[in-house]
Amino acid sequence: MRHLPKILCLLTLGLLLLTALQGHFHIITVRPLKGVYVGTEKPQFTPSAFLSGEWQQTADRYLKEHHGFREPAIRLYNQYLWTAYHRSTNPNSVVVGQDNYLFDPQFVNEYYTGCYDYFFSDTIPDYEKTQVFYRRISRLAKLQDILDEEGTHLFLALLPGKERIYPQYLPDRGAQARRDRLFGHLRAYDFYRQFAPLYGIRHVDICHCFDSLRGRTPYLLFPKTGTHWTNIACTYAFDSIMRFMQTFGPPIRPVTLGQPYYAPTREPDADLDSLLNKIVGIPTEPNQYVDVALSDPIPARNPSLVVIGDSFFWNILYNFPIQELFAHFRYWYYFSTIYYDPDYDNVADIDLVEQLLDADYVMISHCTVSLYNLGGGFINRALLELCYDPDEIQAVRDSLAATPSNLSIDKRIDRNLEQYFPALAKSHPTRRSTRFNQLKH
C-alpha cells in the first residue's frame, strides 16, 4: 500500500499525457458530437491581444474545445445526468416529456401558447399578428391565380407537428399553461386550415389526416425520440400528396409501396435522442419502414417540382426517388438555401420568374410550427417579380431606405405591399413584369 500514492500519481500523469497527445495528434478516432457547433478558431498571438487579455480568453476557450477525449467525456457526463436525474443537458434543444418522449421546445410552446413570440416581435400588437396571416393567405391566392394562367400549379401542404398528434406525451406545464392554450391566440395551422378553402387555396391537410389516424395504425406517426414524422408515415403521406397533385396537374409516374418491415432505426427517427449526446440511447420499440419502387406506366414526360418548405421534407427525400419522379426538382429550404440545383445554392441568386414558369408544381410545405412564417418571404418576392420590373422594385426600396424607421425595409414592404405596389391591391393582379412577358408560355 505504501506505493499506492506513487501509482496513482503516475496514472494521473499518464492520463494527462495521453489526453494531451490525443488533443494534438488525434491518435484514437472518436465519435463526433451531434448538433450545430461553432468552434473557436486558434488564436494568433499578438502583443496587443496579450496585453488586453483577449488572447488569454480566446486561448482558454480554444483549449477547452480541443482537449483530448472531449467528446467521450461530454457523453459520459450527459449519461450521468440522464441516468441519475433524468435531465436533458440542453433543454433549449430537447425537452423530455411523458414516458421518455422527446420534443423540440418549439413544438411544446406551440401546443401551450402558440409560437407567436418566436416568429413575431414583442412590439407588434396582438391584432397585427393575426393580420399577418390574412395578408399572406390573400397574397397566396393571388399568386396561385397568376401561376395557374401559365400552367404552374401551386398548392399548400399543411403538415403535422408532434405536439398535435401526441399531446398526451407532452411535459405538463401546469394550470396557467393550460389556460393559455385554451384562451390564447388562434394557432397558425388552425387559421390556414379554416381560411385556405375560403380563399380558394389548393391545399392538402396531412395534419388533419394524421389526427384521424392517431392510435389506429400499427406504426408510430411520430417517433418517440425524434422531431419529424416517422419515415414510414411520411412515405404514405407523400404517396397521398402525389395522388392529390394529379387531380389538378400533369401525371406523375406511379410508385409501389412494399410491405412494412422492422429495421434498425434510421435517420432522422432518433434525431432528438442523438442531440442528447449520451452513451446509451433511449430504449424504443422497433421502427417500421416501407420501400418505394417505381411502377409503370411511364408518363410522356416527367413533370417538374419546386418545394419551398421546412425540414419535414427531408424525410420524403430519404424515402422517395424524387429525381426519377420529376424531371427537374428544386428544394428551396426555408426559401433560403437551395438543394438539388447544380447551378445555385441560395434563392437570392436565382431568376425566380424563370424558375416558377418552368415548374409544373410548386409545393409550399410547412409543419404546424413553421406555418407562422408561411413561405419564408417567397410569396411577396414572387408577386413582386412576376408583376414589377427590378428597377421599379428597387425604386421603392430606395425610397424606404431614405425614410428612418425601426422596421427593416422587408418588414415595411410586407406590412404595406399593396400600398407601395398598387397593382397588387387588386383581387386578381393583371400587371406583369417585362421578364414575365419574355418567358410566358
Mean pLDDT, range 53-69, rounded to an integer: 68
pTM: 0.88
Predicted confidence band of residue 52 (pLDDT cuts 50, 70, 90)? confident
Mean pLDDT across the stretch 57-64?
68
Show the cell assigned to 83: 441516468
Distance CA 196, CA 199 (A): 5
Quickly state the pLDDT bin for 82 (edges 50, 70, 90): confident
Structural domain spans, the chain: 108-439
| pLDDT band with cut points at 50, 70 and 90 for residue 175 | low
Q: Are 360 and 153 in contact (CB under 8 A)?
A: yes
Element of type H or E holding 257: strand 255-257
pLDDT at 186: 81
CA distance 168 to 101: 10
Nearest Cα neighbor of 248 from 357, 155, 353 is 155
Q: Quick one: what percent of the chain has pLDDT higher than 70?
A: 86
Alpha helices (H) in 320-377, listed in sequence order: 322-325, 352-358
Per-residue model confidence (pLDDT) at position 338: 98
CB 423 within 8 A of CB 432: no
Residue 137 pLDDT more than 90?
Answer: yes
Position 104 scores a pLDDT of 95
Q: Take residue 431 and report the three cell numbers written for it.
A: 400587371
Lowest mean pLDDT: which of 74-78, 220-224, 376-380, 424-428?
Answer: 74-78
Report whether pLDDT(125) > 70: yes
Owner of C-alpha cell 500514492: 5
pLDDT in tens, 269-303: 889 988 888 888 888 888 899 999 999 999 999 99
Hey, which residues does 131 pair with through a beta bridge? Answer: none
Q: So what's the pLDDT on residue 25?
A: 56
Beta strand 329-333 with 337-339 is antiparallel
The string of pLDDT tens digits covering residues 178-197 is 656 555 668 999 999 999 99
354: left (phi over 0), alpha (psi -120 to 50) or beta: alpha
Residue 329 has a pLDDT of 97
Helices 231-245 and 312-319 meet at what angle, rounded to 10?
90
CA angle 149, 150, 155 (to 5 degrees): 80
The pLDDT value given to residue 19: 60
Q: At residue 149, does pLDDT exceed 60?
A: yes
Q: What single DSSP character describes residue 351?
A: -
Q: What share of the chain in percent tops pLDDT 90? A: 63
- Residue corresponding to grid cell 452513451: 279
pLDDT at res. 1: 62
Q: What is the pLDDT of residue 56?
A: 74
CA torsion 200-201-207-210 (nearest 10°) is 70
> Backbone dihedral region of 114: left (phi > 0), alpha (psi from -120 to 50 degrees) or beta?
left
pLDDT confidence of residue 360:
98
Q: pLDDT: is 360 or 128 the higher one?
A: 360
Residue 27 confidence class, pLDDT cut points 50, 70, 90: low
| Mean pLDDT score, 67-95 | 76
The confidence score (pLDDT) of residue 62 equals 66
pLDDT tens profile 324-358? 999 999 999 999 999 999 999 999 999 999 999 99
Task: Tell me what the pLDDT averaged over the chain comes to.
Answer: 88
Phi, psi torsion values for 362, nearest 5 degrees: -125, 115
